[in-house]
Amino acid sequence: MKTHRIAVVAGDGIGLEVMPEGLRALEAAASRFGIGLQFDHFDFACWPYYERHGQMLPDDWKEQIGSHDAIYFGAVGWPEKIPDHISLWGSLLRFRREFDQYVNLRPARLLPGMSAPLRRRDGTPYAPGEIDMWIVRENTEGEYSSVGGRMFEGSEREIVLQETVMSRHGVDRVLRFAFELAQSRPKQHLTSATKSNGIAITMPYWDERVAAMARQYPGVHVDQFHIDILCAHFVQRPDCFDVVVASNLFGDILSDLGPACTGTIGVAPSANLNPERRHPSLFEPVHGSAPDIAGRGIANPIGQIWCGAMMLDFLGHRKAHDALLQAIETVLASGGDAPRTPDLGGRASTADLGRAIAEVV
């Protein structure tokens, strides 16, 4: 039995609280399916580490975690102590970029037992599974660039510039991933997020590459919408999407909006993938460190568990993934005294909910 070496980075805030439940669920799945998992814990990428060392990561972080099979991540950020753009650009965004995790993959799926805020035009709710899409977000370039600067600082003439950078290499590889994913799904439907009517240099280029790639996947039905109207469609007809591919910024927006539409923003997972496996991929819940509820043991661990499932899938264990997801759905769907954390309308603790899920894996 091959043992997968997992680098565990819990991070800050509720990251520390949901991580043990993620590990508990992973261990349950590993033992049921005979999967070897070795967890190595790292204490960087958090405020206490920054406080001691003046930086988010050790100089040799790549040696420390670069040969692991995956990074299992909690949450980073503690804005009261350290501005987000320092903690994030000093850790999470470095992982994404320096480990070339160029795909950020995020599901938006209506789960049973969640109170979703959306209704159809006729007022009826959507059924679990009816909303079921994958957002494929470019994760290394685009609008998240570090090129730019400020001129005439402090004066009335002050001006600030920032480049958006798109490369053929960077755009084509994420499009290819998205087309492959769409092709593997029953609907074979890919939606591209654009804004070529307003962002008139980079976005027409994005459209061009989508059109070129589409010729290689004649079986995939492709459409495209400007990001403004696409956001509106997410609210008005979320059941019409399958795979949605987007630039870094647009993907960021859609992958919060999609889960919000399904009521799952607090439990959504995300996978930062290096599909070629030259570097470790990173699995993290979409939620952040949530300073407002941190330390109280009431955070919902489902996001952490769900991204553990995605990690197992990526490591080749589809059945274990499905079993974990099924366990989440079973607990969410069971009424009565199933433990629910406060965000789900209950009074259970993080550990109560985590244990309940691990038990039914």
Ligand X SMILES: CC(C)[C@H](C(=O)O)[C@@H](O)C(=O)O
Please report whether residue 228 would count as binding ligand X according to CB under 6 A: yes
For residue 115, the minimal CB distance to its own copies (Å) is 5
Please report whether residue 252 would count as binding ligand X according to CB under 6 A: yes
Nearer to its own copies, 325 or 344 (CB): 344
> Computed over its alpha carbons, how large is the radius of gyration of the chain?
20
Please report whether residue 153 would count as binding ligand X according to CB under 6 A: no
CB atoms inside a 10 Å sphere around CB 348: 20
Please report whether residue 148 would count as binding its own copies according to CB under 8 A: yes
For residue 256, the minimal CB distance to ligand X (Å) is 7
Q: Which of 67, 197, 216, 326 binds its own copies (CB under 8 A)?
A: 197
Please report whether residue 198 would count as binding its own copies according to CB under 8 A: yes
Please report whether residue 198 would count as binding ligand X according to CB under 6 A: yes
Considering only residues 263 through 292, tell me which ones interact with its own copies, judged by CB under 8 A: 265
For 14-67, the three-class secondary structure string (H helix, E strand, C coil) is CHHHHHHHHHHHHHHHHHHHCCEEEEEEECCCCHHHHHHHCCCCCCCHHHHHCC
**Residue environment code for 34-64, b if the CB has 16+ CB neighbours within 10 A, otherwise e:** ebebeeeebebbbbebbeeeeebbeeebeee
Sign of the Cα torsion 200, 201, 203, 207 reads positive
Alpha-carbon distance 358 to 7, whole Å? 21
> Closest Cα to residue 105, out of 53, 181, 173, 29?
181
Q: Site map for ligand X, 85-104, x if CB under 6 A?
A: ---x----------------
Residues near ligand X (CB under 6 A): 88, 197-198, 228, 252
Residues near its own copies (CB under 8 A): 77, 84-85, 88-89, 93, 115, 117-123, 143-144, 146, 148-150, 155-169, 195-202, 204-205, 227-229, 231-233, 235-236, 248-249, 252-253, 255-257, 259-261, 265, 345
